[in-house]
Homo-oligomer: A and B are copies of this chain.
Amino acid sequence: MKSYKCTSKEEKAFLENYDVSKFERPSVTTDIVILTLDASDELNILLIKRGEYPYKDRWAIPGGFLAAGKESIDEAAARELKSETNIDDVYLKQLYTFGNPGRDPRTTVISVAYMALVPKHMLDIKAGDDAEDAKLFTIKYDVDGIIFTNENTVINEKDLAFDHAEIIKMAITRLRNRIDYEDDAFNLLRDKNEFTISELKRIYETIKNRSLDLPNFRKTFLRDYVSTGRVIDLNKTEVSKGKPARLYKYIER
């Protein structure tokens, strides 16, 4: 009985190896939704104009192939983010993995989508290898869905390459849901080591897409962050138009 089982297992090993090699391996890419806030506190996204087929001349979110065996998928995303914006060490979180056949006309491509939150002044945008252009677009909503606008161009979500409209929507939804119980908002601050309560409030307002009451926002901020030590009071103020605002520093966990 035992020896038969062994034989059977070795047989299975052979079959398994055979099967594995028979499966066509998919290409894996990481695509990144890079979000920031502009000077008027509007939500912006970095889009690139594709220089190559498929979807040549269409706008897309940046992405690139995983160098399997040489890097983790997190590293691939970080590398792609750096190549497009010249920044590391920012908020970069995995979002979802898209793998419907046909989402890329070339071949089966599995795309692991990431979301990056970046202060605008840190962005040093440059078109990557396969991109003709790279620009920030404001995100607005209309009956047709999302409209991406910059000074020269208006793009409807339907005009984006691949299934990137779907990816972007998921990123915004996720961000909106996470902001109430995660520290995501701090990653959009101009300087998370020196910021005012109003600056943080404006970020919440943009992401939640509604205005907030400053006195109440202050109270919850002091209770949830300052008293718990996750943010410290710098005991100095910033000159501004009205009364100087107190400055705070976010403590990375």
In residues 42-76 of chain A, which contact B (Cβ within 8 Å)? 51-53, 65-74
Asked if A107 is at the interface (CB within 8 A of a chain B CB), the reply is yes
Closest Cβ of chain B to A58, distance in Å, is: 14
Q: Are the CB atoms of A24 and B68 closer together than 8 Å? A: yes
Whether A68 contacts B16 in the complex (CB less than 8 A), given A96-B94, A97-B94, A97-B97, comes out as: no
- Give the A interface residue count (CB, 8 A): 39
Closest 9 CB pairs of A and B: A73-B99, A26-B68, A25-B25, A68-B108, A97-B97, A24-B68, A69-B108, A72-B100, A23-B65
15 sample A-B contacts, Cβ–Cβ < 8 Å, listed by A number: A9-B52, A9-B132, A15-B129, A23-B66, A24-B67, A24-B69, A25-B26, A25-B28, A66-B110, A68-B110, A70-B101, A71-B101, A73-B97, A73-B99, A73-B110
